[in-house]
């Protein structure tokens, strides 16, 4: 009897071992599959993807872009960045004017969330506030524009999101031949009458309560609607600061849609800014922003100023049609078309010239005979 029980137990154990080996194999295969594929929406259980799309610029800064966000959030919304950090040590400046080798990180805790402000005031995007439609919870993103240096798509394309008669869309670009991040925010009026729109950008910087405004495009440490850029950093703790120095680029000179409002304050890691513009029926306008991440305050200011001038790298992966739609920079000059004459126009012109020549000839003959 005892032998029979032992044999049964041995059999059961070997079956269980074989089954668990199968389970391990299945799990291993599933893990391999999940690593090979980007996060996907499971049936009824969408995957949260804060910072899931990472792109590295040519200075080694890695930007973590939020895609397919499925929860309500202000600073962690779709197409915002959860973080940007160096992938290697850089010569970070010190309070004493020297440098120290440091892998600076924690640029952001949530950067460049975009929302519509329905009452057209420039105030920070808030969840649970009926005045704000945050660009968020709009599905997974795709990528485009393969980079020659990296062999990786450089632009993340987010889905269209509808708010009344306004359709919004965002694209986030990180070059592999330059160092910055760029947002293109598209707004199209699908209604039958002109509509005035206010877009706000909300942020949560990694500098937290140690946020310090370094300087701005007009040379002072005050953010104003006339500034094309502002730089900030996390104040030194002792001699060093472990966060990158940041540039925030809002607009270019002479643009038709300048800033309508801006709010930066020392000690406040939630700066915001906004634009108000009118869209005719069927019209699309784009608001463009750049983000700058650098190892020194001077480099952050210099890079921001350079981007304001829109060097060719700044407009990579945009079409001429898109450049013409950018409202807060003069990204392209519309081509002035010379009026051309139709066939009838040309005939009329030729006939007119002929008659004028005949009249001149007749007058000369008459004056010669007199
Ligand atoms: Ca952070
Ligand atoms: Ca920090
Ligand atoms: Ca923060
Ligand atoms: Ca200023």
Q: What is the pLDDT of residue 358?
A: 76
Q: How far is the CA of 66 from the centre of ligand 4 (A)?
A: 30
Ligand nearest the Cα of residue 268 is: 3
Average pLDDT, the chain: 87
Q: How far is the CA of 260 from the centre of ligand 4 (A)?
A: 14
In this structure, of 10-19, 61-70, 100-109, 223-232, the range with the lowest mean pLDDT score is: 10-19
For residue 76, give the DSSP letter: T
Ligand nearest the Cα of residue 225 is: 4
Statement: residue 240 has pLDDT above 70:
yes
User: 161: burial class by Cβ within 10 Å (0-12, 13-18, 19+)?
Assistant: buried
**366 lies in some domain:** no
Ligand nearest the Cα of residue 259 is: 4
Ligand nearest the Cα of residue 242 is: 2
Tokens representing 203? 């942020």
Q: How far is the CA of 181 from the centre of ligand 2 (A)?
A: 19
Q: How far is the CA of 210 from the centre of ligand 2 (A)?
A: 8
Average pLDDT of 163-169? 98
CATH number at 231 reads 2.70.98
Q: How far is the CA of 207 from the centre of ligand 4 (A)?
A: 20
**151 lies in some domain:** yes
Q: What is the pLDDT of residue 48?
A: 53
Q: What is the pLDDT of residue 345?
A: 62
Q: What is the pLDDT of residue 8?
A: 40
Q: How confident is the model at residue 367 (pLDDT cuts 50, 70, 90)?
A: low
**81 lies in some domain:** yes
50-96: pLDDT as tens digits: 999 999 999 999 999 999 999 999 999 999 999 999 999 999 999 99
Q: What is the pLDDT of residue 234?
A: 98
Single out the residue of 120, 43, 105, 50 nearest to residue 78, CA to CA.
Answer: 50
114-139: pLDDT as tens digits: 999 999 999 999 999 999 999 999 99
Q: What is the pLDDT of residue 338?
A: 62
Tokens representing 369? 């005979």
Ligand nearest the Cα of residue 104 is: 2
Q: How far is the CA of 353 from the centre of ligand 3 (A)?
A: 75
Q: Are strands 211-216 and 161-163 parallel, antiparallel or unpaired?
A: unpaired
Ligand nearest the Cα of residue 236 is: 2
Q: How confident is the model at residue 368 (pLDDT cuts 50, 70, 90)?
A: low
Average pLDDT of 234-257? 98
Residues whose beta carbons lie less than 5 angstroms from ion ligand 1: 83, 106, 109, 206
Q: How far is the CA of 110 from the centre of ligand 3 (A)?
A: 8
Report the number of distinct structural domains present in the chain: 1
Q: Are strands 284-294 and 108-117 parallel, antiparallel or unpaired?
A: unpaired
256-311: pLDDT as tens digits: 999 999 999 999 999 999 999 999 999 999 999 999 999 999 999 999 999 999 99
For residue 19, give the DSSP letter: H
Q: What is the pLDDT of residue 348?
A: 67
- What is the span of the domain harbouring residue 139? 53-325
Ligand nearest the Cα of residue 223 is: 4
Q: What is the pLDDT of residue 30?
A: 36
Ligand nearest the Cα of residue 83 is: 1
Percent of the chain residues past pLDDT 70, beyond the cut: 82
DSSP per residue, 275-324: EEEEE-TT-EEEEEEEEEEESSHHHHHHHHHHHHT--GGGGTT--HHHHH
**74 lies in some domain:** yes
Q: How far is the CA of 87 from the centre of ligand 1 (A)?
A: 14
**8 lies in some domain:** no
Q: What is the pLDDT of residue 334?
A: 80
**10 lies in some domain:** no
Statement: residue 352 has pLDDT above 80:
no
**180 lies in some domain:** yes
Cα(368)–Cα(357) distance, integer angstroms: 17
Q: How confident is the model at residue 340 (pLDDT cuts 50, 70, 90)?
A: low
Ligand nearest the Cα of residue 233 is: 2
Q: How far is the CA of 281 from the centre of ligand 3 (A)?
A: 39
Average pLDDT of 162-190? 98
**199 lies in some domain:** yes
Q: How far is the CA of 235 from the centre of ligand 2 (A)?
A: 9
Q: How far is the CA of 166 from the centre of ligand 2 (A)?
A: 36
Q: How far is the CA of 104 from the centre of ligand 2 (A)?
A: 9
């Amino acid at each position: 009897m005892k032998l029979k029980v032992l044999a049964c137990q041995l059999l059961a154990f070997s079956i269980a071992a074989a089954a668990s080996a199968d389970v391990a194999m299945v799990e291993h295969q599933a893990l391999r599959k999940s690593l090979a594929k980007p996060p996907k929406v499971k049936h009824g259980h969408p995957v949260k993807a804060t910072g899931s799309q990472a792109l590295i610029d040519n200075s080694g800064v890695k930007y973590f872009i939020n895609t397919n966000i499925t929860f309500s959030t202000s600073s962690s919304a779709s197409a915002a960045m959860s973080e940007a950090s160096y992938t290697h040590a850089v010569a970070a400046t010190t309070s004493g004017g020297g440098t120290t080798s440091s892998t600076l990180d924690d640029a952001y805790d949530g950067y460049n969330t975009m929302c519509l402000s329905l009452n057209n005031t420039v105030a920070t995007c808030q969840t649970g506030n009926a005045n704000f439609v945050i660009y968020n919870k709009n599905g997974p993103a795709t990528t485009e524009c393969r980079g020659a240096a990296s062999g990786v798509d450089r632009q993340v394309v987010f889905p269209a999101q509808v708010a009344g008669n306004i359709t919004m869309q965002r694209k986030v670009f990180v070059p592999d031949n330059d160092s910055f991040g760029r947002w293109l925010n598209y707004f199209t009026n699908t209604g039958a009458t002109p509509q005035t729109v206010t877009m706000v950008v909300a942020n949560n910087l990694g500098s937290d309560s140690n946020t310090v405004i370094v300087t701005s495009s007009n040379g002072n440490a005050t953010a104003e609607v006339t500034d094309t850029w502002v730089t900030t950093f996390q104040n030194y703790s002792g001699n060093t600061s472990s966060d990158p120095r940041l540039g925030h680029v809002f607009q270019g000179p002479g643009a038709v849609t300048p800033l309508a409002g801006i709010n930066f304050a020392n000690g406040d890691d939630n700066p915001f800014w906004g634009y108000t513009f009118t869209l005719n029926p069927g019209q699309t306008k784009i608001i463009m922003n750049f983000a700058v991440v650098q190892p020194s305050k001077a480099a952050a200011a210099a890079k921001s100023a350079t981007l304001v001038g829109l060097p060719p790298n700044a407009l990579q992966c945009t079409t001429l049609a898109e450049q013409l739609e950018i409202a807060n920079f003069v990204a392209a000059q519309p081509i002035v078309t010379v009026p051309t004459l139709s066939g009838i126009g040309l005939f009329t012109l030729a006939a007119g010239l002929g008659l004028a020549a005949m009249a001149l000839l007749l007058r000369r003959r008459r004056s010669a005979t007199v």
